[in-house]
Amino acid sequence: MTKSDTPVYRLEDYKPTDYAISHTELDFSLHPTETIVKSKLSLSPRKNTKPGTPLVLVGDELKLLSVAINGHELASKDYSATPEKLEIHTPPSGNFIVQITTQINPKKNRQLMGLYLSNGVYCTQNEPQGFRRITYFYDRPDILSVFKTRIEADEKNEPVLLSNGNLLETGKLENGRHYAIWEDPHPKPCYLFALVGGALDHYDDSFTTMSGRKVKLGIYVEKGKRERAAYAMDSLKRAMRWDEEKFGREYDLDIFNIVAVSDFNMGAMENKGLNIFNDKYVLANPDTATDFDYAGIERVIAHEYFHNWTGDRITCRDWFQLCLKEGLTVYRDQEFSSDQRSRPVHRISDVRVLKIAQFPEDAGPLAHPVRPRQYREINNFYTTTVYEKGAEVVRMVHTMLGDELFRKGMDLYFQRHDGEACTIEDFIACFADVSGRDFSQFMLWYEQAGTPTVTVDSHYKDGVLTLDLTQTVPDTPGQSDKKPMVIPLSFGLLGKNGKDMPYQADNHIENNVIVLSEAKQTVHIRDLKEKPVLSLLRGFSAPINLKMEESDDDLAFRAHFDTDEVNRWESLNKLMGKALVNAIADRSNEKPAMPEKLQTLIEALLDDDTLEPAFRSLCLQLPSEIELARMIGHDVDPDRIYNVRQSFMKSLADHLKQKMLHVFDKMKTEGHYSPKAEPAGKRALKNTILGYLALAEATPLRAFEAYKKADNMTDRMGGLSVLVHLFNETNEAKEALSDFEKRYGNDPLVMDKWFSVQATVHGEKTLDHVKELMKHPLFSLDNPNRTRALIASFAASNQTGFNRVDGEGYKLLADIILTVDKENPQLAARLSTFTRSWKQLEPKRQSKLKEQLERILKAPKLSVDVSDIVSRTLG
């Protein structure tokens, strides 16, 4: 379908189907270009369906070979078929069986949706609408069916044949073929169907559930990579245990398999009992993966596993409800990682992601509610708003209800809706029911887009602190005049001694949370023995912009003493942000230094051995260029932002050099590598300092030394990125890059780091280098990981390189979007989102980028995916 004839789908148009499909039997005969799929569907009419109502199923690029009802092949007058649709004009009344045979071409499938070949391995991706590329079906999440699957394939090329559920039977056939039959007893929507066939190694283990059942666990990887699955397996077992302990959720099949493939559009997929993963989120050993990679594996493995209950057992009624499973499951994986690692450090990292990715989305032309009400292409709504803001909304429910009631609400949700396809209303009703609270106004979090701003005016007099709170929600595309939201503001009051002060609360306050619900509201806090310093929005309790008139001294005081570490970091970050934005605006000073007071404050934090190294490392990081651009909001000059930020860092490095050297030495981790939070935190601080020391010493030697001596990938990349980012032209940088290429040149996944680090060298020269790197034998626009490593890194994380004032960066991205769009529209659409903040750029760059967006939109045969993103971006 092309852009002009695509419909807009609307939430209010939801209607159940005319028929239900209770059972689905599938039979695959795998072949690279001519796979035959036979389906046998058990259909029954709904209560209100009139006898003879046509059966209309969807397809996508399908070739129909035959169709039969109750065992009788249909004559051509009885049905009509196109690659996109199969209609049986007059089905019999009552229950009936439909048998459909289609032919598909996995090798040609470079959209990576449906059944495709990834490096010789057959695999599927069906969420949200891939199943229609396999056979005609009701491809929508509210059709729950019991699946039984027979797979037949070549025994030598595809010795491993997997599908959902439990293995019933295997056997040999003639001509070197063999088969396997799988059955999944849990009714599920077709987007959770999965199939894998290939020559794979496996890493086996088992898990005994809380009721004593033994589950077989397997992680399947490409040949030769078996030992790299150990950490993923360890993470899986920890996640299974955690879900039992924290949410009472037990695994429900005898087998749980994970397969890692190298061509995958996103991170991973939660197919029932057979998760399929981008190998980036499975494969790790100390020599190939950084601490960040390990944490990512732990998070994604857990996320997909947690979907077994929040997504698979209870799924979404329609795709508008996507956040029902995604927001909730992100919340659950965030909690898991917080329990496995340091809670405040983890929360700070999540808040940073929210501010760097979600806040700009919410402030730009692609802003949409956590539950969108309309879409042209659902794939474009797998966004940070649905995922991360969706998780924040669940977190707010938890903040307002507390541990116990929140758990009761979750228990009720699992009990009431197990085996159903639900809506957000169903979910929230569970919390309303267990707490007796009215959540109707809270639902606005799912309806209204845009990051609310809360402004606080505070006055202290005679033991009473008065807070005048005002909230506004900005206009966003298609939405204006918004209503006030329910905003939980966790808070504390700090006394002069730096300790939390007791107080007497008035009735808006419960458990140290002010729940704001009106546009303007006044809150009194009484019985204070002295004027307190207010610490508001502790733990970042709501996804808002907080505007509080606060002196730099109060901010610095909180950075020192706040008992909430998230707010400690937040106040330091605010101080840094303020100073940077001021310095960026003052064009009279080309190389401004960080204000001395701020340097002293950071020094004290760096010096404080009682603080976790990971936290100290976060405190050394200045707000990112993207955050600064968002704070400035208009006429953004990325070069200026970069230069001022670097110059601040250089002044801090000069000031703290001795102290940094001292801490650097103390952060050495000895002995066997462990990816656990504590040693990883030490490495994080050490490598952050390495960057500063390079600025102070103005020589590549220390980083080169670090690179050469590294005995794990975190330290190797620590050295390499400093060399490449700060001393790009030196022999040391060149030598390290070529050494890296020699070591890992036959491991594309590891080489992604090599591509990324070079794509993110600041400045205008990088563009040509990126073009050169695109010719590298390992690079291919056909593989999403490679494209993300080089192109997405360049466009999303290289503000000066991509935003070259001559517009050549934009032109390159536009060219690539148009090329990729021909094969993989989903990936092309993702690349298009990197242009979303174009309106905040200074006029020259703005017009160059606009030109490219318009060029993309005019291209013939543009996909709906890209056309949707680009036309919304242009506004």
Q: Which does 266 bind (CB under 5 to 8 A by kind): Zn ion, ligand B3K, none?
A: ligand B3K
CA atoms within 13 A on the CB side of 576: 28
326 touching ligand B3K, by CB under 6 A? yes
Residue 59 CA to chain centroid, in angstroms?
28
Q: For residue 325, give the nearest of 130, 165, 333, 277 by alpha carbon.
A: 333
Q: What is the Cα Rg of the chain in Å?
A: 28
Map the footprint of ligand B3K across residues 834-863, applying CB under 6 A. none
H-helix segments, 101-255: 230-247
Among 137, 305, 375, 382, binds ligand B3K (CB under 6 A): 382
- Judged by beta carbon, residue 382 or residue 834, the one nearer ligand B3K is 382
Q: How far is the CB of 114 from Zn ion (least distance, A)?
A: 19
Q: Which residues are catalytic?
A: 304
Q: How far is the CB of 326 from Zn ion (least distance, A)?
A: 5
Give the C-alpha separation, 8 to 864, whole Å: 11
Bridge partner list, 42: 23, 97
132 touching ligand B3K, by CB under 6 A? no
* Bridge pairing between strands 114-118 and 160-163: unpaired
> Are the C-beta atoms of 328 and 308 separated by less than 8 Å?
no
Q: How far is the CB of 312 from ligand B3K (least distance, A)?
A: 10
Angle (CA) 591 592 594, round 5°: 135
Give the C-alpha separation, 53 to 71, whole Å: 20
- Judged by beta carbon, residue 142 or residue 326, the one nearer Zn ion is 326
Give the C-alpha separation, 496 to 617, whole Å: 27
Give the C-alpha separation, 566 to 559, whole Å: 10
Binding piece for ligand B3K, criterion CB under 6 A, among 303-311, 439-447, 682-690, 790-798: 303-311
- Judged by beta carbon, residue 128 or residue 369, the one nearer ligand B3K is 128
Q: How far is the CB of 387 from ligand B3K (least distance, A)?
A: 7
Question: What letter does residue 570 receive in the DSSP assignment?
Answer: H
Q: Which does 379 bind (CB under 5 to 8 A by kind): Zn ion, ligand B3K, none?
A: ligand B3K
Question: What letter does residue 670 receive in the DSSP assignment?
Answer: P
> Are the C-beta atoms of 426 and 314 separated by less than 8 Å?
no
Secondary element (H or E) of residue 557:
helix 552-561
- Judged by beta carbon, residue 326 or residue 565, the one nearer Zn ion is 326
DSSP string, 91-112: PPSSSEEEEEEEEE-TTT--S-
- Judged by beta carbon, residue 490 or residue 824, the one nearer ligand B3K is 824
- Judged by beta carbon, residue 259 or residue 626, the one nearer ligand B3K is 259
- Judged by beta carbon, residue 251 or residue 615, the one nearer Zn ion is 251
Q: How far is the CB of 422 from Zn ion (least distance, A)?
A: 16
Among 27, 60, 142, 270, binds ligand B3K (CB under 6 A): 270
Tokens of 353: 């992601």
CA atoms within 13 A on the CB side of 768: 3
Q: How far is the CB of 511 from ligand B3K (least distance, A)?
A: 32
CB 459: neighbour CB atoms within 10 A?
A: 9
Determine the size of the site formed for Zn ion (CB under 5 A). Answer: 2
Among 25, 60, 127, 865, binds ligand B3K (CB under 6 A): 127
Across 105-194, the runs of DSSP E, i.e. the strands, are 114-118, 121-125, 145-154, 160-163, 166-172, 177-188
Q: How far is the CB of 128 from ligand B3K (least distance, A)?
A: 6
Q: Which does 318 bind (CB under 5 to 8 A by kind): Zn ion, ligand B3K, none?
A: none
243 touching ligand B3K, by CB under 6 A? no
Sheet holding 268-269, edge to edge: 200-208, 214-222, 255-261, 274-278, 268-269
Binding piece for ligand B3K, criterion CB under 6 A, among 302-310, 348-356, 677-685, 770-778: 302-310
- For 581-596, the three-class secondary structure string (H helix, E strand, C coil) is HHHHHCCCCCCCCCCH
303 touching ligand B3K, by CB under 6 A? yes
Neighbouring residues of 190: CB distance < 8 A, sequence distance ≥ 6: 24, 126, 131, 137, 138, 139, 143, 145
- Judged by beta carbon, residue 160 or residue 268, the one nearer Zn ion is 268
Q: How far is the CB of 839 from ligand B3K (least distance, A)?
A: 27
753 touching ligand B3K, by CB under 6 A? no
Map the footprint of Zn ion across residues 276-335, applying CB under 5 A. 326, 329
* Residue 494, φ and ψ in degrees, nearest 5: -100, 130
Binding piece for ligand B3K, criterion CB under 6 A, among 251-259, 301-309, 479-487, 859-867: 301-309
Give the C-alpha separation, 375 to 872, whole Å: 11
- Judged by beta carbon, residue 319 or residue 642, the one nearer ligand B3K is 319
Residue nearest to ligand B3K (CB): 127
Q: Which does 127 bind (CB under 5 to 8 A by kind): ligand B3K, Zn ion, none?
A: ligand B3K
Neighbouring residues of 46: CB distance < 8 A, sequence distance ≥ 6: 16, 17, 18, 19, 20
Binding piece for ligand B3K, criterion CB under 6 A, among 192-200, 224-232, 265-273, 565-573: 265-273
- Judged by beta carbon, residue 317 or residue 702, the one nearer Zn ion is 317
Q: Which does 488 bind (CB under 5 to 8 A by kind): Zn ion, ligand B3K, none?
A: none
Give the C-alpha separation, 235 to 242, whole Å: 10
Q: How far is the CB of 329 from ligand B3K (least distance, A)?
A: 6
Q: How far is the CB of 125 from ligand B3K (least distance, A)?
A: 7
269 touching ligand B3K, by CB under 6 A? yes
450-to-234, 357, 444, 477, 482 alpha-carbon distances in Å: 39, 13, 11, 9, 10
- For 766-777, the three-class secondary structure string (H helix, E strand, C coil) is HHHHHHHHCCCC
Q: How far is the CB of 455 from ligand B3K (least distance, A)?
A: 35
> Are the C-beta atoms of 676 and 291 separated by less than 8 Å?
no
832 touching ligand B3K, by CB under 6 A? no
550-to-152, 512, 561, 584 alpha-carbon distances in Å: 68, 20, 15, 21
- Judged by beta carbon, residue 277 or residue 642, the one nearer ligand B3K is 277
Q: How far is the CB of 358 from ligand B3K (least distance, A)?
A: 15
Determine the size of the site formed for ligand B3K (CB under 6 A). Answer: 12
Among 195, 266, 469, 576, binds ligand B3K (CB under 6 A): 266
334 touching ligand B3K, by CB under 6 A? no
CB 839: neighbour CB atoms within 10 A?
A: 17
Helices (H) and strands (E) in the chain, counts: 28, 33
The SS3 assignment for 374 reads strand
Number of residues that make up the chain: 875
- Judged by beta carbon, residue 555 or residue 864, the one nearer ligand B3K is 864
Angle (CA) 438 439 443, round 5°: 155
- Judged by beta carbon, residue 299 or residue 355, the one nearer ligand B3K is 299
Among 222, 304, 564, 865, binds ligand B3K (CB under 6 A): 304
Q: How far is the CB of 308 from ligand B3K (least distance, A)?
A: 11
Q: Which residues bind ligand B3K (CB under 6 A)?
A: 127-128, 266, 268-270, 303-304, 307, 326, 379, 382
Please give the residue ranges that form the binding site for Zn ion (CB under 5 A).
Answer: 326, 329
